[in-house]
Each structure stands twice: as structure tokens, then as C-alpha cells.
Amino acid sequence: MKSFLKTGTAMALALSVSGQAFAAEMLQSVGAGEGQVNIVAWPGYIERGETDKGFDWVTKFEENTGCKVQVKTANTSDEMVALMNEGGFDLVTASGDASLRLIAGKRVQPVNVDLVPSWGAVDDRLKSAPWHTVDGVHYGVPYMWGPNVLMYNTEVFKEPPTSWNVVFEEMTLPDGKSNMGRVQAYDGPIHVADAANYLMHNKPDLGIKNPYELNADQYAAALDLLRQQRKLVSRYWHDAFIQMDDFKNEGVVASGSWPFQVNLLRSEGKPIASVVPQEGATGWADTTMMHVDAANPNCSYMWMEHTLSSNLQSDLSVWFGAVPSVPAACSDGRGMQNAEGCDTNGLKDFEKIKFWTTPVSSCASQGECVPYYRWVSDYIGVIGGR
């Protein structure tokens, strides 16, 4: 939670993003590797076979390049921004609610896509996505994308829940017991968007067009819903493995989650499944971004190319339950994934997912919206019972 205040203050100072504001120059050629690359990543994103021997896209990279991959796991976008602000890292796998902050804060540098040979294979819908491209300048290489799903216990829900109401509204669940104390919510201000997404469908009179663009009244309604949810929540989760333990041992039966947790729990034989309910879902489209003061730029460019050209896209898609940023990885045999698996993970649902982005005061859907620094401080208040 400490990082929320730090990044929120930075957001309050500036989120006017203009490509002309950056003095950093793109690398013009890739030279010999420096011997290492230091990456801030989401849990499960960079595997070397330690969790499961079948999933390893690091070892061969290290053997082929001489670049030792060192990973610092971060559990929230705010933590990623804080780590990049502190420095000492070369790359970060940033979601859309962090990437624009990193650009505005001059923490990342433009990426010369001409030095990434496999750039042409990237999904055209992602190449110039607004969460990593400013004034035509790319500040990263697309990594993975997918929806935030509703994870549930199949022994409690014999049929998949059809609405997010099971985690927002107090109710009796199909097993005859209350949901109070048996659900979780995400420990991050971006969860305000999940509440807004729920209200878009269930209270259309609020006029919400975009869950990241909320006027004062819409924002107040979302906070009210989150305060109501506070009475139900047993834990605000940000550590994927702690959330999995809560589903196994602490009686939690429903929560917003990532496909990563769902897949791991199912692989252990646990009674777990997931669904995207009728209201739709928020989601993430992650970008590998390079620190403005990266100490290992050559290894960084080698890694960015590796993420697009190796088995990583295919195998990570299976491992995490995500969709590759390189569509060919779904079916070209480079790894474990196939076309059916990519469809299951949401390949055809791109237009239905409301991807994480950073809320700003000047918004497209209406005159003025509540900016992210307010989301930060107010969500801390919600979790604290205020």
C-alpha cells in the first residue's frame, strides 16, 4: 500500500504525455550483451522451470546470449512503478495502468522496433496501442494480454455464476451459506474500474461509458459499491500464491483473479473454474518497457526479441492462461499452445475486454473525469473502512 501514495503523488504532478517531452534517444544498434538483464515482472511471467520443469523460456536464452536473467516479482502495477522509479532495473512487464505513468514520469525510453526483428509478427491491434505508443513513438514491445476472470469453487457453484454480483452484493450462495467473508477483491486502486464495469451493466442510468473515465457522480457510485463490498471481503489480494492458498485452505469461494491462479489450482486437482460474467470484464495488455537508464540495453533488446520469436509466447499462453501478442504462436508449433487454447483464453474477445489504462482528468467520453491519484487515496480509504 505504501507504493500507492508514492505513485499517486507522481500522477498528481503530471500525466500530460507528449512524445516531445522525452530527451532519451533510441538505441541505434545492438551490440554484445552485457552479461545480464534485470526485469520487473508479474508472477508467472518469466519461468525457468523452477515452478514446473515443463515451463522454461529462460535457460536457452541465457545459453544463447550469455545474458543472465534476474527477475524481481511485483504484485501490483503500483509496485512496478515504484520499483522503476527507484531504478536498478532494465525492463518491466507493465500493464496499461502503469505504462503511461512510466512514460509521463520519464522512467522508460523509446524502443527502436527496427532492432526487434520479430516486430512484424506482433498483432496489428497491439503495435500502436495507446498504452505504450505516444505521438507515434513506441515505448515498449507487447508481451501478453487477457481478461480478469471471476474464479470460483465448483463445489459451491455447481453452475458457473453469471454475474459479478457474487463478489459485490451480499447474498446466499448456492450451498445455502452467505458470501460474507468468503470472497476477495483485488488490492489495487484499478479495482475501482471493476466496480464501475459492474455498474455500467446494472445501473445504466449512471451513464458510464468507460470504467476508467468516471465523472464525480459515477465515481461516487463506484466507491459506494466498493464500501459495500468491503463488508464481504475476507482479504484484499495482490499475491497470487496467497490467493491460491486462501482458496485451498481459508474457505474463499469467489474472487476476481487471473487465469494464472485458475490454471495452477486446476493442475493441482482443486475444484476451481473461472468465467467472464454477463457484465464483461476488465483486462490487461502488458508491454515490455525499457528503463530510461537501463544498464544493460543490449541484453534488453535481445530479451525483447526473444519474447516474440521463441517458444515463450506459446508456452506462457498455456501457463498463464493469456493470449500471445504474436498470433502465430497460437498455431505454428513453436510451443505448447494451439488455436483452440488461444480461443479459450480470449483471442476473439479483444473488443469485449476493457483494458487497464490510467485514469486522467481530461477524458474522451465526457468533459472531466476523476484522475488516478484520487483513485489511489480513496481506495486506501475504502480498504481501511472509510
| Domain containing residue 169: CATH number | 3.40.190.10
Same domain, 69 and 213: no
Same domain, 56 and 115: yes
Same domain, 178 and 319: no
Given a cut of 60, is residue 321 above it in pLDDT?
A: yes
Same domain, 364 and 215: yes
pLDDT in tens, 342-385: 988 888 888 889 999 889 898 988 889 999 999 999 999 999 98
Same domain, 365 and 225: yes
Same domain, 103 and 57: yes
pLDDT of residue 180: 98
Which candidate, 116, 32, 36, places its Cα nearest to that of 287?
A: 116
Amino acid in position 34: E
Cα angle 13, 19, 22 (rounded to 5 degrees) comes to: 70
Same domain, 275 and 155: yes
Same domain, 23 and 116: yes
Report d(CA 87, CA 291) in Å as an integer: 8
User: The domain containing residue 318 runs over which residues?
Assistant: 2-146+284-355
Same domain, 289 and 252: no
Indicate the burial class of 269 (C-beta count within 10 angstroms; 0-12, 13-18, 19 or more): exposed
Which candidate, 75, 74, 98, 90, places its Cα nearest to that of 15?
A: 98
pLDDT in tens, 91-120: 999 998 899 899 999 999 999 999 999 999
pTM score, whole prediction: 0.82
Same domain, 164 and 272: yes
pLDDT averaged over every residue in the chain: 91
Q: How far is CA 197 from CA 214, 225, 353, in A?
A: 11, 11, 11
Same domain, 371 and 346: no
Same domain, 167 and 206: yes
Domain count, the chain: 2
